[in-house]
Amino acid sequence: MYWRRSKISDMKQYGLIGGEIANSLSPQIHNLIYRRFGIAAQYQLLPTTALLDRVAELRAAGVAGFNVTMPYKRAIIPLLDDLTPRARLIDSVNTVVLRNGKYVGDNSDSQGFGEALAHNRIALANKIVLINGAGGAASAVIDHLIDVGAKMILIYNRTRAHTNQLMIRVKQTYRWQNVMSVFDYHGLVVDAIVNATPLGGSGHSDSAALDLNVITTSLYIDLIYRPLVTETMQIGQARGIKTLGGLDMLVYQALQANALWHDISYDATDAKEIIDHVKALL
């Protein structure tokens, strides 16, 4: 067990459940947030291959909340007591809040993505956007795109069945028809591309997410934050494509998670100073 109830410390305990998360920056980010807002809390990594056991452990320890990352953003749902309307709509959970003794799943990725775009003065309303990926992160991006009024969403994934499943779910859940699967992105002309897969990140650094030499776009967004500049981003920059990495979204979704846990209010200045601190660590 990672934590035991203590009569000495009043610090609330939080953490990140995931698979291969040894290189995660989440503890550093959350601890910066705690110091900035005067929150008495501790945050740590909770790598696991046994999700059911890990959640049972956190319940027994009375952990006040936790984040969830790959590959458990959807697998966690049956193990929770309830979902917020937002998490139910996205069908993905990355933040769990302890409310009245029950674990309630929420999702701060969609808002975090949108706030990261606004932070960088990027707007995707009326844009054609290609999403690489069909997991929980892709679902959160789609939620934001529908909310702001994207013109068209194209979904590409190496597993065709997953691509079609996400497309069908989006049409049914959102009652929104401007979404389609693509199985070959060569020759596509889009306004923006979002990589919502781990390709190009730590542990996958030898794999480019997509070949930007065969797509026409003016914007490439990578949800990966380590490395800060992925191989695909480098290729895009060499071609004159505007790029954005995933660190800003990571910080904003962490701020949003703490707003859910601690009812804090934050602004772009808070986010920028935390982003700058984290960049200095890399």
Question: Catalytic residue numbers?
Answer: 73
Contact in structure between 63 and 15 (CB atoms under 8 Å): yes
Cis peptide leading into residue 71 (ω within 30°): yes
- CA-CA distances (angstroms) from residue 75 to 55, 70, 107, 129, 137? 12, 10, 14, 27, 13
Distance CA 47, CA 17 (A): 6
- Candidates 182, 184, 140; CA nearest to 163 is 182
CA torsion angle for 215, 210, 111, 56 (degrees, to 10)?
160
Q: If you count DSSP H runs as helices and E runs as strands, how many of each does the chain have, helices first? A: 9, 12
| Euclidean distance between CA atoms 52 and 49, whole angstroms | 9
